[in-house]
Amino acid sequence: MSQVADVQRERADDSSYDGLRIRELTKSYGVFTAVQHLDLDIPRGSFIALLGPSGCGKTTTLRMVAGLETPTSGSITLAGEDITFAKPYKRPVNTVFQNYALFPHLDIFENVAFGLKRRKVKDVEQQVRDMLDLVELGSQTRKKPAQLSGGQQQRVALARALINRPEVLLLDEPLGALDLKLRRSMQIEIKRIQVEVGLTFVHVTHDQEEAMTMADTVAVMNAGVIEQLGAPAELYENPRSTFVANFLGQSNLIEGTVLGRSADVTTVDMHGIQVSVPTERTHTDGDKGWIGIRPEKVLIGEVGEELDAPGNTIPGGVVSDVSFNGVSTQYLVRMPWGQELQVFQQNTGRVRLFRSGEPVELSWRPEYAFLLDFSQDASAGAQKGDD
């Protein structure tokens, strides 16, 4: 499953690559393997998010790049230099820690100046002032970390790492401790700073929305491997595995049997209804597969109604649950084969709301559907309502 795209893209010499390159990286703790044969290329100046549930190996990967964990095997090269076993204090890599890890005995100024002073850089005073202005903390320099709010501490942690102008800035769940509203504004803030300074950012998070909002590239990790890597929209629209389909947003996954494959479409029998899936969205070679469709791509209409979705129409549904959210309405529709499908409908005012128990027809445009391997668990990566 891992990294087909990258392996194809280049086989260039490691020493000429100026970004962060991870090859065959593995970390085991006794019998438990946290990270397995991970390959990843992060071009200079990009913003990549490692996204996955807790325990998927994303933080371990980050700590190996920072030098805080020693890899069991594999290599890490940064700007052409092998840093696999370099000491953390000798790597041009800085980290924003999960709970910030600000030095409680030093004030904000000294915290931010820490890295510069250790490297005996000149003109510390001016650089620290500029950096604190960048994160809008210019007036708080002599306060201790404990006197600041969570959001301010977060910005100090960011400033303390950024001021060293590292080749790669690592962010380990940096917004996890903030409340929702602050998290949203910090996401935009961090993105702004990244564009402004132009450094490579590697962001670890379990929050799919955060990953998609901030990063140019998202790597979805599960059980120590990267399941899929790509731009947020690409991952969301065309997931390659059930894990990505469920972890990144929500998906309806319906069992189907492949009837035929042609140059552009795969025809699938879905409980007696023939549906088609584009070939570039077909990710299985087997006879059976999971037909996937995002809830917001499913249209709901009255029996016999003409819907704006030529192709796949599925009759015989009964609305079993309706929840009205203001912007949209979420339906659960029980299908003739017993499965409940999710449907999100925008409340544009053009269509009426259905009530529980009403018979309906569903349809979707074939180009939105995707077909996944049947051997995968259809509930892999599904959020259990705790997010």
Partner 1 sequence: MTSTAGVAPVAAADVRADTGRRRGRTGYLLLLPAFLTLLLFFVLPFYSLVATSLYDPSGSDIEGYSMTYHVANYWDALQEFWRPLLRSLWYGAIATVICLVLGYVLAYAMAFKAGRWKYLLLVLVIAPFFTSFLVRTLSWKLILADDGYVVDLLQFLHILGEDGRLLATPVAVVAGLVYNFLPFMILPLFASLDRIDHRLVEASSDLYASPFVGFFKVTWPLSLPGVVSGTLLTFIPAVGDYINQVLLGSPNQRMIGSVIQSQFVDANNYPSAASLSTMLMLLILAMVLVYIRRAGTEELL
Stretch that binds partner 1, among 114-122, 241-249, 254-262, 291-299 (CB under 8 A): 114-122
* Residue 252 in contact with partner 1, rule: CB under 8 A: no
* Residue 164 in contact with partner 1, rule: CB under 8 A: yes
CB-CB neighbours of 246 under 10 Å: 20
CA distance 280 to 263: 10
**In the complex, least distance from residue 210 CB atom to partner 1, rounded to whole angstroms:** 21
In degrees and rounded to multiples of 5, residue 113 shows phi and psi of -80, -10
Nearer to partner 1, 95 or 376 (CB): 95
How many residues contact partner 1, by CB under 8 A? 26
CA distance 307 to 326: 23
Name residue 319's amino acid. V
For residues 67 to 96, the per-residue mask of contacts with partner 1, x marking binding by CB under 8 A and - elsewhere, is xx------------------xxxx--xxx-
CA distance 149 to 156: 11
Contact pick of 38, 66, 135, 178 for partner 1 (by CB under 8 A):
66
CA distance 203 to 210: 10
CA distance 344 to 362: 12
Closest CA to 50 of 172, 165, 174: 172
**In the complex, least distance from residue 39 CB atom to partner 1, rounded to whole angstroms:** 25
Contact pick of 30, 32, 54, 105 for partner 1 (by CB under 8 A):
105
Residue where the block lists tokens 């209409």: 301
**In the complex, least distance from residue 95 CB atom to partner 1, rounded to whole angstroms:** 5
* Residue 64 in contact with partner 1, rule: CB under 8 A: no
* Residue 104 in contact with partner 1, rule: CB under 8 A: yes
Contact in structure between 298 and 387 (CB atoms under 8 Å): no
Which residues are at the interface with partner 1 (CB under 8 A)?
66-68, 87-90, 93-95, 97-99, 101-105, 114-115, 118-119, 160-161, 164, 179
